[in-house]
Amino acid sequence: MDFGLGKSIKYIGSSDKQHPFLFYTQPIDKVKTYQKYRKRGKNRPWVYIDVTPNGEGLLDCYIFGALLIK
């Protein structure tokens, strides 16, 4: 999706940009199944991006498995 004027997210991951997070845009029940049966990286943080615009016309992102992020 393109929101124009460079307002889209270009990177999701650690603040030092060394470890990008996996992200999914599929329904959350499928995503949890994918993460459960991954062989590598299943304990790494991942992000679910809800592609349905919220009331302000933006997308919501939910971060899972990142203990130090509030």
| Nearest CA-CA partner of 35 in 68, 60, 66, 65 | 65
- pLDDT tens column, 41-61: 667 888 888 888 888 888 888
pLDDT digits (tens, 9 = 90+) for 11-45: 888 888 898 888 888 777 776 776 677 777 667 88
Spans of all domains in the chain: 22-64
Global pTM value = 0.68
Residues with Cβ within 8 Å of 44's Cβ and at least 6 positions away in sequence, in order, are: 19, 21, 22, 65
